[in-house]
Structure 1
Amino acid sequence: MAELSSRTDTSTDGDTEDKALGFNSSQSHGPVVSDASDKSRDQKTLRRLAQNREAARKSRLRKKAYVQQLESSRMKLTQLEQELQRARQQGIFISSSGEQSQSMSGNGALAFDVEYGRWLEDHNRRITELKGAVSNHAGDGELRIIVDGVVAHYEDIFRIKADAAKADVFHVLSGMWKTPAERCFLWLGGFRSSELLKLLITQLEPLTEQQLLAIGNLQQSSQQAEDALSQGMEALQQSLAETIAGSLGPSNSSGNVANYMGQMAMAMGKLGTLEGFIRQLKFVGLSFCELWKIQDFRLNLPLILTTRQSARALIAINDYSSRLRALSSLWLARPRE
């Protein structure tokens, strides 16, 4: 009994010790697992913070680059505006790429557009002055000076177009320097003088019989000159088409190549006559300006129109063109479905 009791006590003590060891072991492993979990969470947080810092750094760099790009674009725009302003002042065109400026002979189309813009700006100023003088009932002497200035300014644009045709006759004939609505009424790069005279007759009524006769004669001579130019242009187009058509076909052999080059040279020569058409247009336009200043010295007649009629006529022609430009603006700004 004593031995059994002793064995039992021993077993009990061993179990108790084992349990104690097991308990202590579990207690000793608990903090280790917790520390590892905390360390893992700390590493994830650090990685997240590092990623956020990197993203913020890249965002700042992108923002800085964007601001620099905006500043660069602003400087380029300012430079371009300055170049265009200098071009308007000097009567030449300066390209946005900073290339060397070119005069009318070097870049006719662009230079002519700039020159025409300056002419139109000056023309509007003169017309405003003329309207003010008419509204304020200025004297004939003062009004005559303004009218003569406007007429002389009209003569300038005919000469400018003739000079531009030497550099780029196609640009002048196409009328691309005008608004879309104006181009619908253009004839060889300008308005028909005969049509403008018809407009003036309705705007200047009542006219005396003598004035009607003089305007009718001027209209007839303008119409004859316009018809002659139109017929000449048609003949040129037909001749040019026949010349170009004659060069069609295979051009492999040396003979065909020579024939092709010869026909192209002929076509180039015919195109050269286009400049002559523009010169003729200048004289037609200048004859239209005679409406305000020519006297018939044989009959000792005064000007065809009185000073005030001349002022009204110039204002009417200007308003006609202005309304065409306004119509173009309305057309381009129309809502599109």
Structure 2
Amino acid sequence: MFRDLMLEDIFALQEKGPHTFIDVRSPKEFKEATIPGSINIPVFDDEERAEIGTLYKQVGQEVAKERGLAIFAKKLPNFISAFKNIETPMTVFCWRGGMRSKTAATVLDLMGIHTTRLNGGVRSYRQWVVHELEKEDFSPDFIVLNGNTGTGKTEILKRLADNGYPVIDFENIAGHRGSIFGQIGLEPSNQKKFDSLLIHELERFKTESHVFIEGESRRIGKVSLPQYIYDKKESGMQIVIHLPLAERVKIVLADYEPWNNPERFKEAFQLIERRLHTPIAKLIETYLDNGEFGLAVELLLEHYYDPRYRHSGDKNTDLQKVDIEAKNVEDAFKKILQTIERIKTPSLS
């Protein structure tokens, strides 16, 4: 018979070796929020879940259960087969540790596949995440990469991480680049998903003395940083990167590839159009319509993003700050490494 385990029991099991979490909720629920690293083997797909929910509300619990069993019975061979491919110890869960995970664990047990079930489901995990974030307990100082839009901050963070430095990429876990065009080509996280990914990054680097991040506003797309993380970012050491405008245009084009989503870029631009002088706005719109994205980006940087960055930078005049003048991202990265050497601490070795 399968065992119900509390969240802390499963964390202890994970420390002993590989452990697979299986979310048996529908794909839509899984996409909205789950335990990071989980895989999705749903008892019901989105349409089936909606059908059963409607029956439950409009007809009754027993009819809904019967329909659910009928649907699940037809997909049992594929369901069991998916679990047979998992070679690690495993734990199944649903939202509250209710019927779906109980049904999955029972069937697996009958087929000789050992699994445990998370008591309280993903809701218990969400409660743990909220509790951990409320502790406001993260001691490392931040070294913050700042600079105008298009100065390669995200690429430099990746290079730092590849070289073994502690890095938290807020934009990556938010699924958003932090600008009005920031979600184009990406899949933005909701707050629950962002919090779950964030707490694991904070846990991962909690013993470091410094962690590298990118200078962000508190809100990134659809999500917000915890206030204490934002405050720590604001008081951290600032490395401000300066690149030539032409180089920044190249970086923005490479990051966003506007030719792949021209309509979405046009829609996003219309959200900020009124904040620009009318002749400039009309010129940018013409460039976008004509596919002259480089010229459009250049004007957006000069007349929208750069003035906004100067305004925000004026508020932080008392911070420890290092300016990096560079020709390109490669040059900026080398100079940042040199800067790190000058401020080196044991944890940055």
Name the TM-score, length of structure 1 as normaliser: 0.21
More strand per residue: 1 or 2?
2
Q: Please say which structure displays the higher CA radius of gyration.
A: 1
